[in-house]
Amino acid sequence: MSKRIVIDPVTRIEGHLRIDVEVDGGRVSQAWASGTMWRGIETILLGRDPREAWVFTQRFCGVCTTVHAMASVRAVESALGLEIPLNATYIRNLILIAHALHDHIVHFYHLCALDWVDVVSALKADPAKTSSLAESLSQWPRNSRNDLKAVQDRLKGFVESGQLGIFANGYWGHPAMKLPPEVNLLAVSHYLQALEYQRKANQAVAILGSKTPNIQNLAVGGVANAINLDNQATLNMDKLYMVKSLLDDVIQFVQQVYLPDTCAVAAYYPDWLKYGSGVTNYLAVPDLPIDSKGTAFDLPGGIIMDGALAGVRPVKDHHDVTITREITENVSHAWYKGSGTKHPWEGETNPDFTDYEPGKKYSWVKAPRLGGKPMQVGPLAQVLAGYAQGHPLTKKWADLALTTASSIAKTQITPAMLHSTLGRDAARAIRAAMLSELAIEHWQRLVDNIGRGDTDIFVQPEFPKGEIRGVGFHEAPRGTLSHWVVIENGKITNYQAVVPTTWNASPRDENGTPGPYEASLAGNPVADPEAPLEMLRTVHSFDPCLACAVHTLDPEGREISRIKVL
């Protein structure tokens, strides 16, 4: 008998991710991913001045504010063929790096760790044994027996006073939880420490961006951070050193805590290096430009089809014709008028809500395709694309992660195993380690450039008569993001955002081909349909960001529709 499970958190009035699966013999046979809110925010931009678009796009999503601002200014600059000053490039890069580090840390520790870590089991751990285990994995100074004992005592207090009940959405004691108590204690300790380091990354963004969330320092044509080393009110050496000191702390945490923790989780859950591959076509665009023309980048881009690393096609820059011409969106199964396929520059946002009918239309998310194929985007796509091309920075950190995980697991963990649920989580940590190394490089590039006497930060954009088109690509924490803009006589006439979660949470297309979430859930085990922890593991591994708009608190706590087993 097949069973259907629906995970549909009704915590907001509308607007979130709904997952439906059919379970047969303890495994998922089919899955459907649905975005339950109309993402028509692009329409608000029609008729507006392209120079102010980024202020609005930044509000597409409360979590990914910075990335939508960045993609928007890049889109308009691309339409104008505008080269921005080198300082602006590096300041933007530093913001992107700090934001991504923040985002990856929060994802692992505060969103997905509780799928793998049993907090209650940590109470049974021996702090001394935990400490020696930790020392075998990393140099991190905050893994002492006393540190770990203090965390355990604190946790004990919370459990005894019943306050852990607030984490009733954690699956403590679930049969799929496999970490020994010591590893659980170590992870809980790092879960708490991660709060400090994500704050530091956020502070770095705030110094450079004037404010978080919703940075204020961008402009079409550059940045608004006036540089004057002798002026307290502008970007000066004091502020740059504050940024560096914050980043230094975050870098240590990523390299000595986040990466080893991910390796340990992967080593203790080898089965999860088999489940969840789903769509093995990957797309990543290069990012962190190191020149004003955008010809050279520090993060690699590439396209991999059917998991064949040997056949990787590099994406060298943002003018690559495959990415500018072959991205389309199809609305066969999405609540928009018609069933057609359009290039984003021709894209339409005409909502047409019908019922939730998996055979027909069932999502507000359109189905993006590259050359007609579904693509998985995200850190895994970037790491595999870099690895396949022999990109040195990618290889360095990916090989270190694979070696570390192999030595804990006492078995060989290969790059091919990254096509999986835990592979996605591991790739995010690998990418964070790459970014941590680039953080200091780009900080130095900025300081060196200013040291050469260059204080340029902005080029005045000028809009021609007639129509121009642009696309702004950004390899965001959740994957490839693109903003597509059409401008006529200095006003926006079309604007479409193809966001990472649209690629991954894509519904089926006109050929009935499922998107990455849908494909990756097939074959997942489900031990207890009332507590489908395994499904959450796979969905979380993509770092979904869907409830991008509305949020309403329910302090009266009456929402009850949680997980429905039909």
User: Dihedral (C-alpha) 318, 324, 326, 328: value to the nearest 10 degrees?
Assistant: 110
Query: ∠ at Cα 445 (442, 450), nearest 5°?
Result: 130
Interface residue with another protein among 276, 302, 515, 544 (CB under 8 A) is 544
Structure tokens at 70: 């960045």
Interface residue with another protein among 6, 62, 409, 490 (CB under 8 A) is 62
- Cα–Cα distance measured from residue 90 to residue 223, given in angstroms and rounded to the nearest whole number: 10
Query: ∠ at Cα 320 (315, 324), nearest 5°?
Result: 120
Span of 107-115, 268-276, 295-303, 329-337 interacting with another protein by CB under 8 A: 107-115
Which CB atom, from 46 or from 527, has the smaller least distance to another protein? 46
Query: ∠ at Cα 99 (376, 143), nearest 5°?
Result: 100
For the beta sheet containing 302-304, the strands, ordered from the edge strand earlier in sequence to the opposite edge, are 282-284, 302-304, 313-314
- Cα–Cα distance measured from residue 6 to residue 37, given in angstroms and rounded to the nearest whole number: 17
Shortest distance (Å) from residue 102 CB to another protein? 8
Which CB atom, from 7 or from 305, has the smaller least distance to another protein? 7
- The answer to whether residue 185 forms part of the interface with another protein (CB under 8 A) is no
Shortest distance (Å) from residue 509 CB to another protein? 23
Query: ∠ at Cα 83 (81, 86), nearest 5°?
Result: 165
Instruction: Find the DSSP H helices in 298-362.
Output: 321-325
Interface residue with another protein among 72, 212, 436, 494 (CB under 8 A) is 212
Structure tokens at 267: 């080593």
Structure tokens at 443: 């900080």
Span of 62-70, 406-414, 420-428, 458-466 interacting with another protein by CB under 8 A: 62-70
- The answer to whether residue 555 forms part of the interface with another protein (CB under 8 A) is yes
Tokens 């102010």 belong to 52
- Cα–Cα distance measured from residue 286 to residue 74, given in angstroms and rounded to the nearest whole number: 14
Shortest distance (Å) from residue 273 CB to another protein? 23
70-89 positions binding another protein, by CB under 8 A: none
Interface residue with another protein among 425, 472, 539, 541 (CB under 8 A) is 539
Interface residue with another protein among 25, 321, 557, 566 (CB under 8 A) is 557
- Confirm if 337 and 352 have CB atoms less than 8 A apart: yes
Rg of the Cα atoms in the chain: 23
- Confirm if 457 and 227 have CB atoms less than 8 A apart: yes
Interface residue with another protein among 192, 296, 308, 416 (CB under 8 A) is 192
Residue 551's alpha-carbon distances to 10, 400, 480, in angstroms, are: 11, 40, 25
Span of 61-69, 247-255, 377-385, 439-447 interacting with another protein by CB under 8 A: 61-69
Q: How many residues bind another protein (CB under 8 A)?
A: 70
Which CB atom, from 39 or from 244, has the smaller least distance to another protein? 39
Shortest distance (Å) from residue 550 CB to another protein? 5
Interface residue with another protein among 95, 114, 263, 429 (CB under 8 A) is 114
- The answer to whether residue 420 forms part of the interface with another protein (CB under 8 A) is no
- The answer to whether residue 356 forms part of the interface with another protein (CB under 8 A) is no
Residue 205's alpha-carbon distances to 210, 229, 408, in angstroms, are: 8, 19, 35
Which CB atom, from 154 or from 337, has the smaller least distance to another protein? 154
Query: ∠ at Cα 472 (471, 478), nearest 5°?
Result: 130
Which CB atom, from 305 or from 563, has the smaller least distance to another protein? 563
Interface residue with another protein among 26, 110, 296, 311 (CB under 8 A) is 110
499 SS3 class: coil
- The answer to whether residue 565 forms part of the interface with another protein (CB under 8 A) is no
Neighbours of 173 (CB within 10 A): 10
Q: Are strands 17-24 and 563-565 parallel, antiparallel or unpaired?
A: unpaired
- Cα–Cα distance measured from residue 149 to residue 145, given in angstroms and rounded to the nearest whole number: 6
- Confirm if 497 and 70 have CB atoms less than 8 A apart: no
Interface residue with another protein among 21, 246, 367, 545 (CB under 8 A) is 545
- The answer to whether residue 353 forms part of the interface with another protein (CB under 8 A) is no
Contact mark string toward another protein, 117..156, x via CB under 8 A: -------------------------------------xx-
Which CB atom, from 157 or from 392, has the smaller least distance to another protein? 157
Contact mark string toward another protein, 10..49, x via CB under 8 A: xx-xx-xx-x------------------x-xx-xx-xxx-
Interface residue with another protein among 63, 229, 290, 400 (CB under 8 A) is 63
Residue 535's alpha-carbon distances to 7, 8, 108, 528, in angstroms, are: 9, 13, 16, 11
265-284 positions binding another protein, by CB under 8 A: none
Query: What's phi and psi for 303, nearest 5 deg?
Result: -125, 130
Contact mark string toward another protein, 155..184, x via CB under 8 A: x--x----x--xxxx---------------
Residues of this chain that bind another protein (CB under 8 A): 7, 9-11, 13-14, 16-17, 19, 38, 40-41, 43-44, 46-48, 55-56, 59, 61-63, 65, 102, 106-107, 110-111, 114, 154-155, 158, 163, 166-169, 192, 195, 198-199, 202-203, 211-214, 536, 539-540, 543-559, 562-563
